[in-house]
Structures are given as C-alpha cells and as structure tokens.
Amino acid sequence: MSRWEPGARERLVLAAVDLFTEQGYDATTVAQIAERAGVTKSTFFRHFPDKRELLSAGQEALSQLLTEGVTEAPSDATPLEAVAAGLARAATVMGPMNRELAPRLKAAIAASTELQQRDALKTVGLTAAMVDALVTRGIPDPVAALAAELGALAFKRGYQAWSESARAEDEFAPYALAALNELRAASTSLG
C-alpha cells in the first residue's frame, strides 16, 4: 500500500460507500476501508477521525461556498436570490464523482440509522451556514431560517434529480436552482 499516492481521500470515501453498501455500515471496519482504498490505516486517520466522518467529507467546503455565494449576492437580492447565489457557488464543486457516488451513497444511508443521522447533521450544518450568512446580510432570523431551509431542501432535491438524470454531461447548478424555484412556487400555496 502506497500512502503517498494522490487521491487517497476520494478513494477512501468511494471504498467506504461501496463497503457500507455491500456489507453494511456496522460490519465495515476502518481496516477494510483502508485496504479497499489501497492505503494504510494511519493514512485513513490522517483524513478522517473515524468511519462516521466519511459521510461528512466535503461538508466544510460546501458550507464555505454556500456562505460565499450568499455573502457575495447583490445587495438588493432577496433572501431566496441570495440562497440561489449560494447554491450556484456550491455547485461548482459537484462533479462526476459526486454524481457517480449518489446511488451508492443513497443505498448505504438507507441501510444504516447511524448514517441517516450523519446525513441529517450534514443538512443541519449546511442550513446553519446559510442562516448565518443571511443574518449577516441583515435578514431577520425567521426569514433567514426559512430561506436557508428551502435552500437546503433545494440542494437535496436538486442532487437527487441531477444524479438520476440520463444526461451525464449536465452540471448540478441548474438542478439545484430549478428545485429552489419549484419550492418557491410551492410555498405560495401554503396560504
């Protein structure tokens, strides 16, 4: 096992998701993940504190990009327009690996209560990042919270539609923004 080969983090995530899908989260060990990824256990622990954290890989980057997009939206942007700018910015890191991983990740999460909890925490973290950025823009907290929740839901719905699309060349941003527009339209029927 070469610990210096590039792409170890990505290989670890792919190996873990495959193993979680094949044999279940609880039955998968860090040693098995490291072996499947072609790295040592110590390399695993340089990238992740434990196997639970594999699902959160990339969350910090997504949160940062969402925050930057919201922050840099035009000053006259509505809260949902600012969220749309955040989604568009975050979409820049969503590439072919994310799309390829989606069905396997979905299956692994569905089969494990612990992974479902980690996925929920990831969504909470992304939502909190958008709330903070919106409040910093001067948006009142209840409005910021609602806009951020819609943004997080749009991200999730857009990701699902994007990963299921037959058009592999498509980028993620249009799917997330379409989902946000659908949610915006649906919210008007709430009364």
Read off the pLDDT of residues 109-118 as tens digits, 9 standing for 90 and up. 888 888 888 8
Task: Give the model's pLDDT for residue 2.
Answer: 46
- Is 60 exceeded by the pLDDT of residue 34? yes
Among 17, 10, 151, 26, CA closest to 91: 151
pTM given for the model: 0.84
Q: Is the pLDDT of residue 59 over 90?
A: no
Q: What percent of the chain has pLDDT over 70?
A: 96
Evaluate whether 93 touches 172 at the Cβ level (below 8 Å).
no
* Domains of the chain from N-terminus onward: 8-54 (1.10.10.60), 58-190 (1.10.357.10)
pLDDT-derived band at 5, boundaries 50, 70, 90: low
Between the CA of residue 188 and those of 106, 156, 184, what are the distances in Å? 30, 20, 7
Q: Rounded CA gap, 125 and 56, in Å?
A: 10
